[in-house]
Structure 1
Amino acid sequence: MCYRYGHMERAILSSEIAGVDLRGAVTRGVGAQGIELSETVRRMEESIPQVILLLEAAVERCISFTGGSEADELILALDDTMLQYISTLQDTLKSLRAVCGVDNKDIGLDRKEGAQNSRKTDLISNEEEWSIVQGALQILTVADCLTSRSSVFEASLRATLARLSTTLSLSVFGSSLDNNQLHVANDDGNGEPPLGGRAALDVAAVRLVDVPEKARKLFNLLDQSKDPRFHALPLASQRVAAFAEAVNELVYDVLISKVRQRLSEVSRMPIWSAAEEQSAFRLPTFSAYPQPYVTSVGEYLLTLPQQLEPLAEGISNSDANNDEAQFFATEWMFKVAEGATALYMEQLRGIQYITDGGAQQLSVDIEYLSNVLSALSMPIPPVLATFQTCLGTPRDQLKDLLKSDNGNQLDLPTANLVCKIRRLNLD
């Protein structure tokens, strides 16, 4: 019976889960990604309560048809069904990476192909870019909803198992569970049939009394369910956590993608090593302005809090927790700002040679980004501060700077690297 029940329940749930429509994550060309992303995310989010209702219905079926005697098989069926559903969500998430333009297919391309891809990205309007960002941020609500709903369902399932532990033991043995009672005969010694015999209409009691080995396994499971550390759906719990992690990874990749595109060629920009014009006349010097690549990144970072605000407000409204909403927005803002800074410093380390004019320009660029980070209440990494100081210092004064007291505040490996790319021998 247990095999037939488990097989039947899996078939029912599998069929119902297959009917949940998550399709729609198909790229339809430039200009449609944001709409497509939003629609797919909406379907994903709406599917979660639908699936939970299906699982709750399965629990009710088990109790109605078997009195709970097949609870062990039910749990296995529920776990498998959740795995099937989460697998579908993960497949959809993978397709969304392509919709968002972060499917990682461009990793390993040569420089020419990478530049072509960058030009394709530039075809996407600024409005479309922000539409994709908003859609990606909305995926966080899918992960949050799945995590909370599955957690509540699992807690409810544990409570159901705890009730079954009491009701089934009373039905079968007439008292609280005692494993020794699993070996009792069909006669209680007084000539009276045991409670299981008297409760002939109790389906669960009849089945469990007839199959003592199954009863022992079931009651062991029900006893374990009373432990707060018990996971009714162990595999599903792990997969939910993995899905949430994959969502965070996708959202981060989307949020950092524009920064990555703008900074991808910084180390190879011709301006760093461009020959400086010689003139017989003393020409006035003008202050350099930050270049478009860095102002574009800065403006994006400064605009990001506004994009995070609607989602943060949604969290605040649903949970009545403004602190949590503020933490959410700040956490993601810091993640992206830190990622942008790391990408920038990686590019700076890749510069092979820089002239005095190039150093002056780069110092201005770094100062601009540092001001943006300060405006976002982000600390300036010592490495970035060292780049700015050493690049902004005239080449003939750099040695003295490193030997001075101020030199102790610099990141030494970075300072040595700047000397190297400025062709300054420290010996």
Structure 2
Amino acid sequence: MVDMAAFGEEGFDPKAWVNAACRARHPDEDAERQLSDLEMKLQLASEDIAAALEDQSTAALLRIPRALRDVSRLHDDALSLRSTVSGMLLKLRTAESLSAGSVAALSRVDLVKQRMEAAHKTLKDAAGLAQLCASVETVFASGNLDEAAGTLANMRRCLAVVGEVPEFASVKRELEALENRLDGMVQTRLTDALTQRKVESVQAFRAILLTIGRYNSLEQQYSKVRLKPLRRLWDEYESSTDGVGSGKPFIEWLPTFYDQVLLTLEQELKWCMTCFSEDYSRLISKLLIDTMSSIQTSFTARIEASITPGLHCCIFSQTLQRPPLNIILMLHNITSSFAKNVERLFSAADHQEMMRVLKAVYSPYEGYKQRYGELERVQLSSNLSSLDLKGAVQRSVGSRGVELSETVQRMESSVPELITFFESAVERCFNFTGGSEVEALLRALDETMIQYTSSLHEVLKSLRPVCGVSQVFDSTKKDSLDGSSNKGKGNQDMIPEEEEWVIVQGVLQLLTVAESLSGRLSVFEASLRGTLSRLKNQLPGSREDGANALLDIAGLRVLDAPDKARKLASLVEQATDPRFHALAHASQRVGAFVDAANELVYEVLISKVRVRLADVASMPVWSAPQEDNPYALPSFSAYPLPYVTSIGEYLLTLPQQLEPLTSSMTTSDTSDDIDEEGQYFATEWMFKVAEGATALYVDQIRGIRNLNERGAQQLSADIDYLCNVLTALSMNVPAVLSTFQQCVGATRDQLAEFAKGVGPDLDGPTVRLVCKMRQVPVE
């Protein structure tokens, strides 16, 4: 037989099925015979299937009339049932309308009955209250505290039922006095039972206090009895010192105290779980809260005594091994470890109860957390005073470059140290306050950065005389006809050429300092924004598991301070904006320092040009008389004077001087990006100095009063040389300088033509100025 199941599967492949059947034949069997047998079997199977299908179809056709009769009968039954239900609903509505009046009458009767029963109970309770008032003294005299508690509880219940009946107005006062009397009788015996740890007696007294509604008395008495040994542990520190701190330091003693407290609490927890199976957690929590409250003042005093020497040193800018905030933070970390152990110990407590416990544990530090901004400023000021930022001292010629290099290196090394101080401050803020005082942190960081940049500005001022850019040059002396200088040109001329190179290299490092400070501050601010964003998850109500958020330090501090929580949430929300400046004033001051550093670098780089061009306008060569030439000698082009060739040589060496700094001014990791950024930096500063030199030169040319033909020829050669230098530096020659070049190189007639119709490539005011210099009339 053939297995027909494969034919009904999805994706049935006839070819594959036939091939599989062929592969299954016996090796000795003929393939053609096997295929013939397989075809016959399939044909027989198909005939069987067709016959079965025909039989089933015939049977189905015979069952259809019977099914139609069943459906018709069910439809008739459904119509009959609907008619019956409608009749029943009509009868119910009729009965409801007829019995409505009877039901209302029964309701009024029931209300009267209830009132009569209440009145009967009230009268009964009033009678019982009178009887209880008469017998209560007898019960107290018997000394049976359980019976007395029951009597007072019955009196309280009866009094609540009677209400404000004038006859029983005095009973309420008497009942309170009797409850206080019983409470006092229980307290004495409860104290002895708690001291001797008598479980059954304590449970009996607890039941009595619960009966008269004085459970708080049990908590207070338990806390009062168990507080004494814990307080003795705290007071042992006073006995270990002589009052002047010669004993063990508090910061070393505190972990021992916490360990002993934890051990005591564990023992109390085991005993309370046996004695008070329902409310043991509440009793232990109150014990710890009362303990911390009783030692809070002393705790704060010991913290103050620990940090007082540090505050004194900070005030007088002395070096500290442990600044005040660090000492407080070390103590706080010890307390945090204790708080974590308390959380594990009180795992059965609810979150509200745990919140009260943790607030009590951290309560001695609350005053310091409120003063966190002040303490952080003291800490950062101490850190800032440790930076070596003293100004430069002007040394003799030959050693200025060394002084400049050392000073700039100190400035450069101080930047990463400052950022490290700031990162430590952020860590201290979150460890100490959980980030709840982040606003005070930002103010402290901002003020410290302002103080730091002020110190950098002072250092920059001290560098100016070292670099030789603060000298006021004497402009009364004149250059010789060949352009050589015959005056002592101040600091810049006195510095040897090899030291000029060192000074330029040293002052260029200021750009690295400025770039490092600006870049690191930007990275730090971005990191600070990320830190503030993460703080959002620690605020109450900001997470789905809001109950757990209560256990964060930030959540504990702001939970009862809605205004503080609102300000903190607003600050955190602002921090999500990438444009938000956490240190707004500091960013401005850093920008001002960057500008000042760039200005000093520019002044140093342009100072040599400024010296060479100091007296160009007053040089006598421009109006020197024409020498008589008795011979008809050919006229040769003038050579540029030394003042302009020295400027050109200096500008051409700028790329070489800027090259060592290009790698230090880049932030990319790949070599291609480093080369590109370095070239961009060098080109930028080269263009800046060249443009400044050109502007200075143009100003000096404008100052020339008389320019004869020989002077014009010489000036044309000088300008042409400088234009060639600018072209070699891949710079465009300014239109003003190009106009000077064309006008001084032209003949008088050509100059007059220039003045009549100024072309698009000439500057009109410059043409008229040259005409005035050369005394060419302008119509």
The TM-score, its normalising length taken from structure 2, stands at 0.49
Q: Residue type of the partner of 2:402?
A: I
Quote the Cα distance in structure 1 between the aligned partners of 2:582 and 2:642.
Answer: 55
Aligned to 1:173, the other structure's residue is in SS state coil
Residue pairs, 1:92-103, within 5 angstroms: 92-103=459-470
Q: Residue type of the partner of 2:541?
A: F
Aligned in 2, Cα 1:425/1:204: closer, same or farther, shift over 3 Å? same
Quote the Cα distance in structure 2 between the aligned partners of 1:324 and 1:8.
Answer: 43
| 2:756/2:778 contact within 8 Å kept | no
Residue pairs, 1:147-158, within 5 angstroms: 147-158=518-529
Q: Residue type of the partner of 1:56?
A: E
Residue 645 of structure 2 is aligned to residue 295 of structure 1:
yes
Q: Residue type of the partner of 1:272?
A: W
Cα deviation digits, residues 124-165 of structure 1 (max 9, x gap): 111111111111111100011001111111111111111111
| 2:624/2:708 contact within 8 Å kept | yes
Select the residue among 741, 759, 762 that pairs with 1:388: 741
Select the residue among 69, 78, 84 that pairs with 2:436: 69
The equivalent residue for 2:311 is none
Larger Rg: 2
Cα deviation digits, residues 42-99 of structure 1 (max 9, x gap): 1111001111111111111111111112111111111111111111111111211221
| 2:708/2:774 contact within 8 Å kept | yes
Q: Residue type of the partner of 2:525?
A: E
Quote the Cα distance in structure 1 between the aligned partners of 2:378 and 2:488.
Answer: 45
Aligned in 2, Cα 1:363/1:161: closer, same or farther, shift over 3 Å? same
Aligned in 2, Cα 1:210/1:116: closer, same or farther, shift over 3 Å? farther
Quote the Cα distance in structure 1 between the aligned partners of 2:718 and 2:455.
Answer: 45
Quote the Cα distance in structure 1 between the aligned partners of 2:596 and 2:391.
Answer: 19
| 1:174/1:195 contact within 8 Å kept | no
Aligned in 2, Cα 1:27/1:319: closer, same or farther, shift over 3 Å? farther
Quote the Cα distance in structure 2 between the aligned partners of 1:241 and 1:119.
Answer: 32
| 2:617/2:701 contact within 8 Å kept | yes
Residue 88 of structure 2 is aligned to residue 88 of structure 1:
no
Aligned in 2, Cα 1:289/1:176: closer, same or farther, shift over 3 Å? farther
The equivalent residue for 2:728 is 375
Residue 676 of structure 2 is aligned to residue 323 of structure 1:
yes
Aligned to 2:609, the other structure's residue is in SS state helix
The equivalent residue for 1:183 is none
Quote the Cα distance in structure 1 between the aligned partners of 2:550 and 2:440.
Answer: 26
Quote the Cα distance in structure 1 between the aligned partners of 2:669 and 2:487.
Answer: 45
Cα deviation digits, residues 163-213 of structure 1 (max 9, x gap): 11112x2xx336369xxxxxxxxxxxxxxxx838963xx433222123222
| 2:754/2:767 contact within 8 Å kept | no
The equivalent residue for 2:772 is 420
The equivalent residue for 1:33 is 400
The equivalent residue for 1:256 is 606
Aligned in 2, Cα 1:124/1:369: closer, same or farther, shift over 3 Å? same
Segment drifting more, 242-251 vs 287-296: 242-251
Task: Give structure 1 stretches of 5+ with no counterpart.
Answer: 178-193
The equivalent residue for 2:499 is 128
Higher relative contact order (CA 8 A, sep 6+): 1
Residue pairs, 1:278-289, within 5 angstroms: 278-289=628-639
Q: Residue type of the partner of 1:378?
A: M
Quote the Cα distance in structure 1 between the aligned partners of 2:529 and 2:761.
Answer: 57
Quote the Cα distance in structure 1 between the aligned partners of 2:426 and 2:690.
Answer: 46
| 1:30/1:124 contact within 8 Å kept | yes
Aligned in 2, Cα 1:46/1:234: closer, same or farther, shift over 3 Å? same
| 2:469/2:492 contact within 8 Å kept | no
Segment drifting more, 121-130 vs 205-214: 205-214
Aligned to 1:409, the other structure's residue is in SS state coil
Quote the Cα distance in structure 1 between the aligned partners of 2:441 and 2:451.
Answer: 15
Quote the Cα distance in structure 2 between the aligned partners of 1:231 and 1:8.
Answer: 23
Residue 489 of structure 2 is aligned to residue 118 of structure 1:
yes
Quote the Cα distance in structure 1 between the aligned partners of 2:542 and 2:505.
Answer: 59
The equivalent residue for 1:106 is 472
Residue 381 of structure 2 is aligned to residue 14 of structure 1:
yes
How far apart are 1:324 and its partner, in Å?
A: 1.4
Quote the Cα distance in structure 1 between the aligned partners of 2:767 and 2:549.
Answer: 87
How far apart are 1:379 and its partner, in Å?
A: 0.7
Cα deviation digits, residues 343-369 of structure 1 (max 9, x gap): 111110000001111110110010000
Select the residue among 702, 705, 720 that pairs with 1:349: 702
The TM-score, its normalising length taken from structure 1, stands at 0.88
How far apart are 1:280 and its partner, in Å?
A: 3.8
Residue 598 of structure 2 is aligned to residue 227 of structure 1:
no
Residue 543 of structure 2 is aligned to residue 175 of structure 1:
yes
Aligned to 2:646, the other structure's residue is in SS state helix
The equivalent residue for 1:207 is 557
Quote the Cα distance in structure 1 between the aligned partners of 2:685 and 2:550.
Answer: 63
The equivalent residue for 1:186 is none
Aligned to 2:637, the other structure's residue is in SS state coil
Aligned in 2, Cα 1:340/1:229: closer, same or farther, shift over 3 Å? same
Task: Give structure 2 stretches of 5+ with no counterpart.
Answer: 1-366, 479-485
Select the residue among 506, 509, 515 that pairs with 1:144: 515
Aligned in 2, Cα 1:333/1:213: closer, same or farther, shift over 3 Å? same
Aligned to 1:294, the other structure's residue is in SS state helix
Count of matched residue positions in the alignment of Structure 1 and Structure 2: 403
Quote the Cα distance in structure 2 between the aligned partners of 1:149 and 1:175.
Answer: 33
Aligned in 2, Cα 1:20/1:414: closer, same or farther, shift over 3 Å? same
Aligned in 2, Cα 1:26/1:304: closer, same or farther, shift over 3 Å? same
| 1:290/1:368 contact within 8 Å kept | yes
| 2:404/2:466 contact within 8 Å kept | yes
Q: Residue type of the partner of 1:141?
A: T
Quote the Cα distance in structure 2 between the aligned partners of 1:88 and 1:197.
Answer: 43
Quote the Cα distance in structure 1 between the aligned partners of 2:464 and 2:564.
Answer: 47
Aligned in 2, Cα 1:197/1:330: closer, same or farther, shift over 3 Å? closer
| 1:24/1:39 contact within 8 Å kept | no
Aligned in 2, Cα 1:197/1:419: closer, same or farther, shift over 3 Å? closer
